[in-house]
Amino acid sequence: MTQQNSSSQKNSLRVYIGSSIFFIYIILSVLFFGPLVILCAFFPFSFRYRLANVWPVTIMFMARICCGLKHEVEGLENLPKDQAFIVLSKHQSAWETLALRLFLPMQTTVLKKSLTQIPIGGWALSLLKPIAIDREKPRAALRTLTEQGIARLKEGLVVIIYPEGTRAAPGEDKKFNIGGAMLAQKSGYPVIPLAHNAGDFWPRYSF
C-alpha cells in the first residue's frame, strides 16, 4: 500500500463531496417530482410522461455538475423512424434506467413489480405504464411481458428490456432471460440491441 499524494487526496475529497451532493439531490428530487406526477394522475399519459421526463434531465445535469459524469451516444441513426421497437439493453448501473429516457422515443420499461410499490417514487412510476412483472412467478411474468409488451408497442411506445434481469458488472456474463426474444417473435416488432459502459463509472452498490 502506498500513501496518497496531496493531489489524489484532493481529488478523492472532491469526488466524495460531489457524490454526496448528488445523492442528496436524488432523494430530494424524488420527493418533489414524485408527488407532481401523482397529482397529474388524471391528465393524459403524454403529459405525465413529459413531466416525469424532466426528472432524469435534472439527474443527468447534476451528475455532470457534481460528479463530472458525461455521456456520448452513437448509433441513433439506426433506430426505426416510423414504428415502435424493442430495446434489449445491457444493465450495469442505475444510469441507463434514467439516461435512456433522454435519447430514445416515448417508452416503457420492463421492471420488477416491487419497484412500483415504493412510496412516492414507485407510485409515480406506476403511472408511466411500466410493464411490472413478479419475478417469483416466472410463467405469469412471461405472460405479462408478452401481453402488455404487445399492447404498449401497438400504442407506439418503445419497450425497453434488460434481458439479464438484474445489474451485472462490466465483463460479467449472465444468462439472458427469454422474455425479450419471445416478445419480438410474437409481436413482429424490430429489436435494437444497446450496449454501454455505465458500470465502469456508476457501479452497482457504489457511492
Residues 109, 18, single domain; the answer is no
Answer yes or no: is 1 within a domain: no
Report which of 61, 54, 55, 62 is spatially closest to residue 20, judged by C-alpha positions. Answer: 62
Answer yes or no: is 96 within a domain: yes
Q: Which of 20, 35, 67 is the last residue of a domain?
A: 67
d(CA 109, CA 97): 9
Q: What is the 3-state secondary structure (H, E, C) of 120-139?
A: CHHHHHHHHCCEEECCCCHH
- 17-61 tens-digit pLDDT: 999 999 999 999 999 999 999 999 999 999 999 999 999 999 999
pTM: 0.89
Instruction: Please report which confidence band the pLDDT of residue 2 belongs to, taking 50, 70 and 90 as the band edges.
Output: very low
Q: Which of 43, 67, 91 is the last residue of a domain?
A: 67
Residues 89, 29, single domain; the answer is no
Range(s) of the domain holding residue 83? 76-200
- 144-177 tens-digit pLDDT: 999 999 999 999 999 999 998 888 888 888 888 8
